[in-house]
Amino acid sequence: MSSKSTPRSAASKSSAADPLRESAHEIWLAGLGAFTKAQQEGSKMYDTLVQEGLAMQRKAQTTAEEKLNEAGEKVSSLARDLETRATSQWDKLESLFEDRVARAMQRLGIPSARVVHGLTARLTELEKQLQARAARAAPTKKATTAKKATPAKKAPLKKTAAKKASPAKKVAPRKTARK
């Protein structure tokens, strides 16, 4: 029995392995077919993949540029806000400093620029008034000097009268006490 059972088990093993062998062989053939088809259509597939890659790259660049522009706008906006705040703070600091300096100068009795400007304007106005008065007085002086230049002739004084008049005494100046 042992001799009969051995051929049966070999026959049953080969019959069970046949479908497995056939399946493996079919898989092998499918792989070869896919390889052959890939070789035939490989250049077409390659071109298609390149086109899809270019489209993906353009889309990625567009998206990146949009994001970069948005980020640039945000940074610019933040910079403007920061500049506005800094300017405001500097203006406040400058105003505070000017107020304190003005108060210190006032305590020391130093006139402010506004007061000096007002006094300068007033001085200019007074100079103009003096020049106008001097211009009006100048023709009057010319008229009086013209009269002095041609005085009326007087009769000569008598010598006897002049001799009789005593010469005036010279008075010595007083000395004042020095302190």
Per-residue pLDDT of 71-86, as tens digits, reads 999 999 999 999 999 9
Pick from 2-16, 17-31, 46-60, 122-136: least confident = 2-16
Q: Which residue in this structure is represented by tokens 């009268």?
A: 161
CB 20 within 8 A of CB 13: no
- Would you state the pLDDT for residue 154? 59
Share of the chain above pLDDT 70, in %: 69
Pick from 45-49, 92-96, 110-114, 115-119: least confident = 45-49
Share of the chain above pLDDT 90, in %: 35
- Would you state the pLDDT for residue 6? 52
- Would you state the pLDDT for residue 67? 93
Could you tell me the pLDDT band of residue 150, with boundaries at 50, 70 and 90?
low
- Would you state the pLDDT for residue 55? 93
Mean pLDDT for the chain?
Answer: 79
Does position 142 have pLDDT exceeding 70, yes or no? no
